[in-house]
Amino acid sequence: MTWFTPGEVPPADEMTGEWWDATREHRLTVQTCGCGHRQHPPRAVCTGCGRTDALTLVEASGAATVDTYTVVHRAPRPDVATPYVVARVRLAEGPVLLTRLMAEPAIGDAVTVGWVDLPDGRALPVFTPARPDEETP
């Protein structure tokens, strides 16, 4: 993808390393607790039940809907081209991600995950319009 060239992304830590490792294989995961709660970003404690020993990463479908978005017209760093679209997307699994969209959407649009590779082998999830057969209900 050439429409988005990310700046430097800080290294993972012990709470986020496994999530980032999955991105190397273009797999989107969501941290899920034994209690059924799902959360993002991954952390050492479940915000649903408080347990620290029941959290695992589960593969996400990559399907999402646009919760809201903004078109940014002023660059926060020198080498980013404007305008660009920053959005909140709600994964089919529940959690909300901040992301980039290729083009201005409408709120409620179905989108699907794509990947922008980082120089260190990790990848950033971005979202593109879903094909009709991928639309979530």
User: Among residues 39 and 61, whose Cβ is nearest to Zn ion?
Assistant: 39
> What is the DSSP secondary-structure string of 24-62?
TTT--EEEEETTS-EESS--SS-TTT--SS-EEEEE---
Angle at 88 between CA 82 and CA 94, to 5 degrees: 160
Rule CB under 8 A: say whether 98 interacts with another protein: yes
Rule CB under 8 A: say whether 80 interacts with another protein: yes
Contact map string, positions 13 to 42, toward another protein, x by CB under 8 A: x--x---x-------------------xx-
**Beta-bridge partners for 71:** 85
Rule CB under 8 A: say whether 134 interacts with another protein: no
The region of 28-36, 48-56, 96-104, 128-136 touching another protein under the rule CB under 8 A is 96-104
Distance of alpha carbon 118 from alpha carbon 26, whole angstroms: 11
Q: Which of 36, 47, 42, 11 is nearest to 122 (CA)?
A: 11
Rule CB under 8 A: say whether 63 interacts with another protein: no
Which amino acid belongs to residue 134?
Answer: E
Closest CB 33 distance from another protein, rounded Å: 17
Rule CB under 8 A: say whether 62 interacts with another protein: no
Structure tokens at 106: 């409408």
Q: Write out the residues near another protein by the rule CB under 8 A.
A: 6-7, 9-10, 12-13, 16, 20, 40-41, 43, 67-77, 80, 83-84, 86-88, 95-100, 107, 124
